[in-house]
Amino acid sequence: MKKAELSRRAFLGGAAAVAASGCVSVGRRSAKEIRFAAIGAWGMGRGTSLGLIKAKAKLVALCDANKENLAKAAKLWPGLPCYTDYRKMLAEIGDTFDAVHVSTPDHTHAYIAIDCMNAGKHVYV
C-alpha cells in the first residue's frame, strides 16, 4: 500500500500545531523537504522556527528588521543568510525556499504575508 504524501499546506498546519503543543512529530513526512525562511527571527519567530525544525523542515534564511534580534538568531543558527528587509531576501534568494513564517509585530503581518504569497511562497503567520 502506498503511503499518502503530505502537502505543504498540511505540513505547515501540522508544524504550527507541533510548535504550539511542544510535540516532536507530525506523524507523516513529506516526500519533499520543506525549506523555509524566518521573517521575524527572534521572540515568537524563534519558537516558530524551532517548531518547524522539529517537524523536519529546513531553515535556510533569517530576516529581522531589528538588527539586535537578527544577531541573536544568527548566533543560534550560524551560516544562514541574514537580511533586515524581507523584500531584498525574496529578490535575492527567494528561489531557495518554499515557505516563510511571518513572526513580526501585528501591524506588519498583512503586508509581508501578501508580498510573500505574491512571490509564490507558502505562508504561516
**Cβ atoms of 79 and 90 closer than 8 Å:** no
Note the pLDDT of residue 22: 47
The burial class, CB within 10 Å (0-12 / 13-18 / 19+), for 41 is: buried
* The pLDDT of residue 23: 43
- 104 and 39 in contact (C-beta within 8 Å)? yes
Half-sphere exposure of 110 (CA within 13 A, CB side): 1
pLDDT at position 101: 97
Residue among 89, 97, 86 nearest 120 (CA)? 97
Mean pLDDT by 10 residues, the chain (125 residues): 62 62 46 92 96 96 97 98 98 97 94 97 96
Q: What is the pLDDT of residue 116?
A: 97
The set of cell numbers assigned to 74 is 544568527
pLDDT score of 98: 96
* pTM given for the model: 0.75
Confidence at residue 6, expressed as pLDDT on a 0 to 100 scale? 64
List beta partners, residue 63: 39, 83
